[in-house]
Amino acid sequence: MKITLIFVITMSTHFLFIGGPEIVVIGLLVVMLFGADKIPEIARGLGKGMRQLKDATNEIKREINDTANTEGIDMDVTKDITSEINKVKDEITGPIKRNK
């Protein structure tokens, strides 16, 4: 199973500008520094930290949206911008119809 995991990691495309051989070297260094017994514990801790960061980010987004809704602020700005762009396109093209 461990060999398969290393093979899958090395066969993946570049991740953060790090190639397959670099990932293997980093993996070997991690095993040498922390030992095979500590790696699952470290990965679990990193997973929990990433989950907490994701939850905090989602909470901030929800708070912003809730506050905007209670204050009556329009959060759908992109729809307004898209409609204005389409109006200008229609004015420029005139009677010429675009294929969609």
Domains of the chain, residue spans = 1-35, 37-73
Can you tell me the distance from the alpha carbon of 99 to that of 92, in angstroms, rounded to the nearest whole number?
15
The pLDDT mean for the chain works out to 80
**Beta-bridge mates of residue 81:** none
- Residue 77 confidence (pLDDT): 73
| Amino acid code (one letter) for 10 | T
Model pLDDT for residues 29-73, shown as the tens digit of each residue: 988 998 889 989 999 999 999 999 999 999 999 998 888 888 887
Task: Please give the full DSSP string across 25-57, using - where no structure is assigned.
Answer: HHHHHHHHHH-TTTHHHHHHHHHHHHHHHHHHH
Can you tell me the distance from the alpha carbon of 23 to that of 30, in angstroms, rounded to the nearest whole number?
10
Q: Which is nearest to 23 in space by CA: 41, 5, 37, 47?
A: 5
Give the percent of the chain with pLDDT over 70: 78
Q: Give the residue with greater pLDDT, 60 vs 13.
A: 60
